[in-house]
């Protein structure tokens, strides 16, 4: 934060209370000319304390500066944003999985074993592909069509949202199961959450909307 002069501080207070307000109106309140005020307004706008819109005027910027937004975003962990995973058993039929997808309003389901161990990922396209054939969808278990371990891309709760975003983009997938190791040697993972592309967007919007104190 830059140190403000007394006049700059006065301008800030005026804009806080009256914004949006034009440069001329601020000048009138301080009994100064518009020209005398110009350097101060330039400094306050450049430092991000004030925002200016053509034909609207100056208003107080109560959002945190962009550099700090980015800094904050880089430190967010998967654990703080993970949502509940929607799970089905491996023997659930494709028909029931489609119904579940609509009921839960999600794009991806996770198949788990009886002990909560992650077994598979079932996405919209997996279900559509299975529906294109003439199979009886009530008889076809999701275990036949799902993406299985060890091909599942996972993320740990302590990893960052940026890492999650990179994994989704690089692997062309919409979501990641959040897992904790059950047995590293055997590649077994306990499913504890999910992260989607929407999660990343929501996190960024929340940070952008945060007010500075
Ligand atoms: P959609 O089918 O709605 O486009 P995705 O892009 O996420 O959803 O899925 C594309 C394919 O990638 C599907 O076959 C799905 O099973 C698979 N998939 C989805 N998520 C993962 C993941 N985390 N790890 C490995 N494969 C995945």
Which residue segments constitute the domains of the chain, with CATH numbers given? 6-61 (1.10.10.10), 75-204 (3.10.580.10)
Residues whose CB falls within 8 Å of the CB of residue 167, separated by 6 or more in sequence, listed in order: 153, 155, 173, 176
Q: Is 152 in the pocket of ligand 1 (CB under 6 A)?
A: yes
Q: For the whole model, what pTM was predicted? A: 0.79
Q: What is the pLDDT of residue 1?
A: 57
Q: Round to whole Å and give the CA distance between 181 and 190.
A: 6
pLDDT, tens digit, 9 for 90 and up, residues 170-185: 999 999 999 999 877 7
Distance 138 CA to ligand 1 centre (A): 22
Closest C-alpha to 79, from 182, 183, 160: 160
Question: To test ligand 1's pocket by mutation, which of 174, 178, 198 has the most ligand atoms within 8 angstroms of CB?
Answer: 174
Q: What is the pLDDT of residue 114?
A: 87
Q: Is 124 in the pocket of ligand 1 (CB under 6 A)?
A: yes
Per-residue pLDDT 10s for the chain (213 aa) are: 568 899 999 999 999 999 899 999 999 999 999 999 999 999 999 888 899 988 889 998 887 878 888 888 999 999 999 999 999 999 999 999 999 999 999 999 999 998 889 999 999 999 999 999 767 999 999 999 999 999 999 999 999 999 999 999 999 999 999 999 987 777 799 999 999 999 999 999 999 888 776
Q: What is the pLDDT of residue 213?
A: 65
Q: Which DSSP symbol is given to 83?
A: B
8 A C-beta contact, residue 167 and residue 144:
no
Atom of ligand 1 nearest to the CA of 126: 14
């Amino acid at each position: 934060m830059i140190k403000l002069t007394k006049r700059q501080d006065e301008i800030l207070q005026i804009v806080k209370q009256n914004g949006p307000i034009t440069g001329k109106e601020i000048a009138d309140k301080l009994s100064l000319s518009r020209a005398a005020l110009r350097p101060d307004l330039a400094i306050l706008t450049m430092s991000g304390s004030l925002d200016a819109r053509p034909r609207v005027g100056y208003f107080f910027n109560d959002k945190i500066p962009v550099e700090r937004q980015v800094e904050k975003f880089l430190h967010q962990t998967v654990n703080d944003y993970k949502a509940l995973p929607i799970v089905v058993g491996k023997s659930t039929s494709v028909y029931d999985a489609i119904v579940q997808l609509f009921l839960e309003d999600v794009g991806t389901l996770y198949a788990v074993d009886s002990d909560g161990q992650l077994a598979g990922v079932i996405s919209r396209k997996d279900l559509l592909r299975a529906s294109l054939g003439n199979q009886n969808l009530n008889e076809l278990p999701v275990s036949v069509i799902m993406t299985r371990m060890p091909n599942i891309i996972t993320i740990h709760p302590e990893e960052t949202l940026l890492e999650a975003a990179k994994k989704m983009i690089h692997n062309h997938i919409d979501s990641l199961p959040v897992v904790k190791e059950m047995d590293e040697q055997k590649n077994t993972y306990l499913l504890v959450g999910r992260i989607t592309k929407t999660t990343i967007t929501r996190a960024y919007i929340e940070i952008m909307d945060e007010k500075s104190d």
